[in-house]
């Protein structure tokens, strides 16, 4: 009997190493079919899951409270599983080089608790070669086992979109790969248990790694183009959103929009690809150019806020500015690598300490990572300028009366970064309105 059959017969267990926005939904999905051990070294997070609380808001408290996942911070519990999925973050350092610390640490922990006959699948986004050249040697060293003989490895890049209730693990086709045909077949069949959209069997682990890293690089470059267009059209006095609405009437026009590119995927993955390219002697031109544009957009938004304050004869230093939204994307509590912090820091350079409110974001995380303290929306009064930064559903439903309450006397300055509101209506009401 092979490992797949033992899993569905509940003679063996699957483990999930890393229970964040990606790992936890995977664990919950598999638990509907097989026995699952969910491991994370964060005791606080594990305790929340055990209490039926979903801090990620990805599946909800009701689902967490009913799942059969065995949540644990005890690494030795991993010895009870034979099929292991590693889903930990792969961020970048301040110099934009890959930070493989989390994935290396996960490989060390798993290696010390690996048993013969196991299959280890990595989901973390990495540059081609990391699974086999970095992670595999760690697993061998820590376990004393031999890859290919005592255990096998595979790679299946995560495609979960945090905050997205439509494109989920079950509905997105899954790329799978393995070190040999036998492993590939096992990995594919296991994932087919939960991925209704089916799987794509990549011809090698490196192909799967490369496919993942270019998916978000492609989006990053397209968004960078939109951001550059926004800068150009702003100088021309042309509304970018109106231009894109007109251009999108052509059947093959790609519908991308300008915006702040944060989070732990689109704003990070391109650096993994360019880092590997540098190792091979090639210096990226298009990819890094796009990264430079996108990384500067927070500063660009703050500068426009200052320009509008000056144009409205308002004192810049000490101006009362409110930022609505701090998460890296809409309807998501995750603030990691949010680009809203770039707006905050640039405004600080002008002597402005903005008030920040977010009804979705993790307040404790924002405080710990950035030193930002959220205020309640009701505390935002007598404001000179409002920056509507994140398209949370509640913010999208704001009426003009809701927006009016934030302002004091004088010109009302509104920076609607995502273009949520009707520009003509606000300008007709006397607002000084700007958007990307």
CATH class entry, domain 213-295: mainly alpha
Q: pLDDT tens, 355-408? A: 999 998 888 989 999 999 999 999 999 999 999 999 998 898 899 999 999 998
Per-residue b/e over 177-201, b at no fewer than 16 CB within 10 Å? bbbeeebbebbbbbbeebbeeebee
Contacts (Cβ under 8 Å, ≥6 apart) of 182 = 152
Confidence of residue 410 (pLDDT cuts 50, 70, 90): confident
Question: Could you write out the DSSP letters of every residue in 112-149?
Answer: TT--TTEEEEE-S---TTHIIIIIHHHHHHHH---BTT
Is 334 within 8 Å of 21 (Cβ atoms)? yes
* Residue 161 predicted with pLDDT over 80: no
3-state secondary structure of 416: strand
Residue owning tokens 């595979």: 154
Q: pLDDT tens, 55-70? A: 887 888 999 999 999 9
pLDDT at 85: 97
On whether the pTM is more than 0.85, the answer is yes
CA distances from 226 to 136, 264, 297 (A): 40, 20, 11
Question: Could you write out the DSSP letters of every residue in 274-341?
Answer: HHHHHHTT---SHHHHHHHHHHTHHHHHHHHHHHHHHHTT--STT--EEEE--SSSTT----TT-SHH
* Residue 209 predicted with pLDDT over 90: yes
* Residue 77 predicted with pLDDT over 80: yes
DSSP state of 78: G
Is 386 within 8 Å of 408 (Cβ atoms)? no
Per-residue b/e over 255-277, b at no fewer than 16 CB within 10 Å? ebbbbbbbbbbbbbbbbbbbebe
332 is catalytic: no
CATH number of 3-203: 3.40.50.720
DSSP state of 172: S
Which among 391, 225, 231, 383 is positioned nearest to 304, based on CA atoms? Answer: 231
Structural domain 296-436, CATH architecture: 3-Layer(aba) Sandwich (3.40)
d(CA 327, CA 335): 4
d(CA 424, CA 173): 41
Q: Of the listed 135, 147, 186, 265, which one is catalytic?
A: 265
3-state secondary structure of 82: strand
| Rounded to 5°, angle at Cα 27 from 24 and 33 | 150
- CATH 3.40.50.720 placement within the chain: 3-203, 296-436
Span 137-142, average pLDDT: 97
DSSP state of 48: H
Span 14-37, average pLDDT: 93
């Amino acid at each position: 009997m092979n490992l797949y059959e033992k899993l569905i017969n509940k003679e063996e267990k699957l483990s999930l190493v890393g229970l964040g926005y990606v790992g936890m939904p995977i664990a919950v999905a598999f638990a509907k079919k097989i026995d699952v051990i969910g491991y994370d070294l964060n005791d606080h997070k594990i305790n929340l899951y055990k209490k039926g609380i979903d801090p990620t808001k990805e599946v909800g408290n009701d689902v967490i409270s009913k799942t059969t996942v065995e949540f644990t911070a005890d690494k030795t519990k991993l010895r009870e599983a034979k099929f292991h999925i590693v889903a930990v973050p792969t961020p970048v350092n301040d110099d934009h080089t890959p930070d493989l610390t989390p994935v290396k640490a996960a490989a060390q922990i798993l290696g010390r608790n690996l048993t013969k006959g196991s299959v280890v699948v990595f989901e973390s986004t990495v540059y081609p070669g990391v699974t086999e050249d970095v992670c595999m040697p760690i697993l061998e060293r820590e376990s004393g086992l031999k890859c290919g003989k005592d255990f096998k490895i595979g790679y299946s890049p995560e495609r979960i979109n945090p905050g997205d209730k439509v494109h989920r693990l079950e509905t997105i086709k899954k790329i799978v790969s393995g070190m040999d045909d036998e492993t590939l077949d096992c990995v594919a069949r296991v994932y087919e248990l939960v991925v209704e959209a089916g799987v794509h069997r990549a011809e090698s682990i490196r192909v799967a790694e490369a496919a993942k890293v270019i998916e978000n690089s492609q989006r990053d470059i397209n968004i960078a183009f939109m951001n550059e267009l926004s800068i150009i059209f702003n100088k021309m006095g042309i509304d970018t959103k109106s231009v894109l609405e007109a251009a999108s009437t052509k059947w093959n026009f790609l519908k991308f929009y300008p915006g702040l590119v944060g989070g732990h995927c689109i704003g990070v993955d391109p650096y993994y690809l360019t880092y590997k390219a540098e190792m091979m002697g090639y210096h990226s031109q298009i990819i890094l150019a796009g990264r430079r544009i996108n990384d500067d957009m927070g500063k660009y938004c703050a500068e426009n806020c200052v320009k509008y304050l000056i144009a409205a004869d308002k004192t810049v230093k000490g101006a009362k500015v409110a930022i609505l939204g701090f998460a890296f994307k809409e309807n998501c509590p995750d603030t990691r690598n949010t680009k809203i912090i770039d707006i905050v820091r640039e405004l600080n350079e002008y002597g402005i300490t903005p008030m920040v409110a977010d009804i979705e974001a993790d307040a404790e995380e924002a405080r710990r990572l950035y030193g930002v303290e959220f205020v309640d929306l009701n505390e935002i009064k007598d404001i000179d300028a409002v920056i509507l930064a994140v398209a949370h559903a509640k913010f999208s439903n704001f009426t003009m009366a809701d927006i009016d309450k934030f302002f004091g006397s004088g010109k009302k300055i509104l920076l609607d970064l995502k273009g949520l509101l009707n520009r003509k209506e606000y300008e007709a009401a006397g607002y000084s309105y700007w958007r990307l």
